[in-house]
Amino acid sequence: MASPRSEAPEIKIPDVLKRKRTLSFEFYPPRTREGLPAVFRSIHRLKGFKPDFVSVTYGAGGATQRFTEEIVTSIERETDLLPMAHLTCVGQTREEIRGVLERLEGAGVENVIALRGDPPRGQAEFAPAPGGFSHATELIGYIRANFGFSIAAACYPEGHTESRDLDADIEHTKLKLEMGAEFLITQLFYDNDYFYSFLDRARRAGIRAPILAGILPILNREQIRRFAALCGATIPPALDARLEALGDDRDAVRELGIETATLQVRELLDGGVDGVHFYALNRSYSISKILSNLGGGRVQDRGAAPGE
């Protein structure tokens, strides 16, 4: 079946980024096939905001990895959305990774984000699969040498948890771009000052690639504390105190998440951010509210950003 997007000339995200600020949403694959319809419902609910691309994360193994391919391929074939597949080095040999890339290529997918991945649950440190890749840089180099995908990579406003220091972190980020990545998406953060100092360090180190801000609206107090601790993101004390005060009132926590993300994104837009990438977690309510609060098209409207 011909892609409904076939009339759109841009199929590589870096081409879109040359022209405008991007809005994107990230989804994750379910553990079982029964969970697939819920993912598609979430994608379809957010489609109305006309994201420039949508991405699907890559799990630590087994069925979920095949679901990533399946979801990305369906998005490519059956919608007018531009998909980006996540791919990690976890638990896969070079040949297995080649297989994934060949299938994605065969399905017409043009964009990937190449990551190392986190160690699977119960494993303290990342260990490459025999014959696999140790770092995102190696995976990026391999994709660049063998395929025509556009390649994105991850970056960390507060530094990656395993980085020796912020200088080493920037050096490794820079290496990702030298190996062939074309733009970066940040880990979640709740204090824009971390983003701005990262941007400053990156630009001083000669990084010119677009850097999209990764935003996770808070949905649940315990979940966000767990996520933030895992990925080394700071929840500012004032925000944490407000979360604490709301106790188990889930609706109030979600409303606080909408309020804080609206303010955070508005400030990033005013500062001329290259793009906003929402970690949607297969939900749509909070993101819909945030985008409505910001005003239709505000994220993608480059002209509205002062300071440019």
Q: Judged by CB, which is closer to ligand FAD: 126, or 255?
A: 126
Q: Judged by CB, which is closer to ligand FAD: 191, or 301?
A: 191
The beta strand positions in 166-282, using DSSP E, are 183-186, 211-215, 275-279
Identify the residue whose tokens are 């297989």. Answer: 99
First to last CA, the chain: 41
Q: Judged by CB, which is closer to ligand FAD: 67, or 253?
A: 67
Nearest CA-CA partner of 135 in 96, 95, 169, 100: 169
Residues of this chain that interact with ligand FAD (CB under 6 A) are: 57-58, 86, 88, 113, 115-118, 135-137, 154, 160, 162-163, 168-169, 172, 175, 185, 187, 214
Nearest CA-CA partner of 129 in 30, 29, 61: 61
CB of 126 to ligand FAD, least distance (A): 7
Euclidean distance between CA atoms 79 and 128, whole angstroms: 35
3 state SS of 218 = coil
Q: How many CB atoms lie within 10 A of CB 281?
A: 20
Determine which helix (DSSP H) or strand (DSSP E) holds 26, and give its type and residue range: strand 22-27
Q: Which two tokens stand for residue 159?
A: 């530094």
The beta strand positions in 263-307, using DSSP E, are 275-279
CB of 60 to ligand FAD, least distance (A): 6
Residues 26, 69, 76, 158: which is the catalytic one? 26
Q: Judged by CB, which is closer to ligand FAD: 175, or 219?
A: 175
CB of 131 to ligand FAD, least distance (A): 17
CB of 135 to ligand FAD, least distance (A): 3
Q: Judged by CB, which is closer to ligand FAD: 162, or 249?
A: 162
CB of 228 to ligand FAD, least distance (A): 13
3 state SS of 241 = helix
Active site residue 26: yes
Euclidean distance between CA atoms 141 and 134, whole angstroms: 12
The residues that are catalytic are 26
